Chains A and B, each alone.
Chain A
Amino acid sequence: AQKVTQAQTEISVVEKEDVTLDCVYETRDTTYYLFWYKQPPSGELVFLIRRNSFDEQNEISGRYSWNFQKSTSSFNFTITASQVVDSAVYFCALTTWAGGTSYGKLTFGQGTILTVHP
């Protein structure tokens, strides 16, 4: 069975602070994909990044960066110089290849509510 844990339920920061959202996953499969999604107050889930289990390179996209470490089963997300528009619920998710079954469906963490104050 797969599991994703986002231990931080809520984070509150002041604009321009850096913030890291933690994600720890569990799976027995060797091939899997990790994702981060953003859910702003409007409610629609927005894709941010996908990473496969064979690619441990960290990635940076503007103010966003992701740190994937298989050794600790973590896929953390950092926002640099946070802005009010970053306020949202952020979800980490996992999907695995399991010999042709159960692939595709996302197992989500409980989400982290990020509030950025001006």
Chain B
Amino acid sequence: GAGVSQSPSNKVTEKGKDVELRCDPISGHTALYWYRQSLGQGLEFLIYFQGNSAPDKSGLPSDRFSAERTGGSVSTLTIQRTQQEDSAVYLCASSPQYYNEQFFGPGTRLTVL
């Protein structure tokens, strides 16, 4: 079956612009996660959605970052007023339940000039 998909695969933007990153999880997976991978910080948790529960936003680095998940499926991560330190690979993952293994998408490489 189809895996986790993310779009775009690459995004180059100018400092100060807003960007939206999209994640399509595996069908039927109730849990969805966003992570960020950068050279200096490794793999960092950003936000977690589980069914209809309130999302766990504890990993969002600033209020410029937000995410939503519509209809329990597709998720969008929005970064407002991008900064150069936001440059990283943004990874989305999904799993059937929180205790299951997470399946990762290919990531979106964000470059802020």
Q: Which residues of A approach B to under 8 Å, CB–CB?
A: 33, 35, 37, 43-47, 50, 52, 91, 93, 95, 97, 101-111
**Inter-chain CB contacts under 8 Å: number:** 59
Contact B101 A102 (CB under 8 A): no
Least CB separation from A47: chain B residue: B101
Which listed residue (B56, B102, B103) contacts A106, Cβ 8 A? B102
Query: In the assembled complex, which residues on chain A have CB atoms less than 8 Å from the CB atom of B44?
Result: 108
Which listed residue (A102, A106, A110) contacts B35, Cβ 8 A? A106
Does B100 lie at the interface of the complex (its beta carbon under 8 Å from any beta carbon of A)?
A: yes
A108 to B102, CA, bound (A): 13
Q: 26 pairs across A/B with beta carbons < 8 Å?
A: A33-B99, A35-B101, A35-B102, A44-B104, A44-B106, A45-B91, A45-B93, A45-B104, A47-B102, A47-B104, A50-B101, A91-B43, A93-B43, A95-B99, A101-B56, A104-B56, A104-B95, A104-B99, A105-B33, A105-B45, A105-B48, A105-B58, A105-B59, A107-B45, A111-B42, A111-B43
